[in-house]
Amino acid sequence: MTKDKALTLAAVLTALFLGALDQTIVATALPSIARDLQGLSRYSLVATAYLTASTVFVPIYGKLADMLSKKSIEFGAITIFLIGSVLCGLAGIWGDLPIIGDGMNQLILFRAIQGLGGAGLFSMAFIVIADLFPPAERGKYQGYIGAAFGIASLLGPFFGGLLTDYAGGIIPGVEGWRWVFYVNIPFGAIAVYFIIRYMPKLLPEKDSSKYFDFRGAFYLTIGTGGLLLALESDKQKTGITSPEFLIFVLLAITGTLLFYFRSKKSPNPIINLQLFQNSVFKVSVIAVIFLGMSFFSLTLFIPLYLTNVLGVSATKAGISLIPLSLGLVTGSTLAGKLSNKFRRVRTIILFGIGILMLAFGLLTTLSTDTDYYKVVILMVIAGLGMGPTLPMFPLAVQNSVRRNVLGQATGSTQFFRQIGGVTGAAIMGMILALTVSGIIQKPEINKLENSPIEITVDKETNIQELREKLDERVSNTNNNPAYKDALDTIITAFSDAISRIFLFSLIVSFLASIATFFLPDHELRQTNDH
């Protein structure tokens, strides 16, 4: 590998790492941010704004990569991300702003800007590597992408808490949580320098169209945004018949239909529908949707299980994700090296999904008395299984398409994976809510004198707080069996809900394996010509 390629790869991976780190590091700081900006009621919108922007623009970046210099697009994505980072750090500094409003509203808007840049950091990493290396060599380097995600997931929660708690003294008057955003600046600047200095232009094919379908991009934004907002809306509070939810669903359906018909007639669509005639692309899209659904069960619900069922501390629950990250890093790196050696990917992917299914099968046995260290071991196994899927599906797709549609094919694969993830999270949240709320409505619990059961139950329910209240009642009433039985009933209900969530993850992983079985196993090309 030449020096320029090595430094370009380092810059792209650094940018990707920042984008992945930003998702986990901000999540840790959000409680302090919401408290400081007095926006607890809009807490979830901070994450939703980033998620919506970063999902919608992934295929748009892929299309732009087929039309323009990839160096310019990568530079633009990092620049937008860094501008968004600075603005997020400044949210609320100026007080209320015209039109935008208070600091929390500012943060929500600025997180959307950050997400717009973050979409490019994710999609362009795969696309730039595809231009730098032929498919037969590409697996090893795309395996590093999975490693970057894993390391970011490992470090994010730790640094988020560290900066929030202790960085406030760096500059007097600047709250610690603001450094969660400012920390992106020096690392982003390094990535920008190497991109400007060493990255080749990586121009598109000479016959590539320069026409960008703005109308198609608008329809895609409406459809995807509506879908994500519908999935992320709090249906426990508003209900599925609420005007808010129905408007989001209507936007999703209308935008998707308009985008479909526009893509059929556009001379240069955002997502070329002819890609779905490619069996590798079609099968990969189906598989990554299912895999995306399963992944959030690990990152969202294992910490909830540990705190709300086993009663461990939040710190110990967070530590349980470290083995998952280590397994993911190992699995993706090993898969990349194996693809370089054997020049085939289907068997590697199937083996990875098989390991993942084993982990989910064992996770369905979690109960109220499961040992903490058993959960840690299962996280390692799950990470090893998930690792190969992250880089191998994009590699299979890139190997099967022509260079003039490589960007949109890669971006679309990532887009559908993220859609699957959000959809899966919504379904699993519903499973949790229905299971636990059904138990909480039992007469033997609701008839307790001064019972604290009146809570909203969803994927963010703090059953730990409910446990503490009931524990206190048990102590204050000399082990009143009614309160003790209520506590045991709620803990058992939560444990049962988590088991059902992992059963759902096992099922969708199995469906992903069936789809992958039909993936054409083409030999990886040794050149970029196609």
DSSP for 28-63, please give it: HHHHHHHHHTT-GGGHHHHHHHHHHHHHHHHHHHHH
Question: Quick one: which of 376, 370, 359 has its CA closest to 320?
Answer: 376
Residue 452 has a pLDDT of 45
**Mean residue pLDDT across the chain:** 84
pLDDT tens per residue, range 422-447: 888 888 888 887 777 666 555 444 44
> Which one is predicted more confidently, 84 or 471?
84
Q: How many distinct helices (H) and strands (E) make up the chain?
A: 20, 0
Residues 6+ apart with CB under 8 A from 322: 154
DSSP string, 272-292: -GGGGGSHHHHHHHHHHHHHH
> Which one is predicted more confidently, 369 or 1?
369
pTM of the model: 0.85
Q: How confident is the model at residue 461 (pLDDT cuts 50, 70, 90)?
A: very low
Query: Percent of the chain scored above 90 by pLDDT?
Result: 37
Q: Is the pLDDT of residue 460 over 50?
A: no
Q: How confident is the model at residue 209 (pLDDT cuts 50, 70, 90)?
A: low
Contact between residue 416 and residue 285 where contact means Cβ atoms under 8 Å apart: yes
Q: Is the pLDDT of residue 456 over 50?
A: no
Phi, psi of 94 (to 5 degrees): -90, 5
Rounded Cα distance, 437 and 309, in Å: 16
Highest mean pLDDT of the ranges 20-24, 306-310, 407-411: 407-411
Structure tokens at 477: 């009433």
Query: Percent of the chain scored above 70 by pLDDT?
Result: 86
Q: Is the pLDDT of residue 463 over 60?
A: no
Rounded Cα distance, 65 and 203, in Å: 9
Q: How confident is the model at residue 224 (pLDDT cuts 50, 70, 90)?
A: very high
> Which one is predicted more confidently, 28 or 3?
3
Q: How confident is the model at residue 377 (pLDDT cuts 50, 70, 90)?
A: very high
Q: Is the pLDDT of residue 477 over 70?
A: no
Highest mean pLDDT of the ranges 138-147, 179-188, 348-357: 348-357
Q: What is the mean pLDDT of residues 380-389?
A: 92
Q: What is the mean pLDDT of residues 251-255?
A: 95
Rounded Cα distance, 222 and 250, in Å: 10
> Which one is predicted more confidently, 127 or 488?
127
Contact between residue 412 and residue 401 where contact means Cβ atoms under 8 Å apart: no
First-to-final CA distance of the chain: 22
* Range of lowest pLDDT (31-35, 279-283, 366-370): 31-35
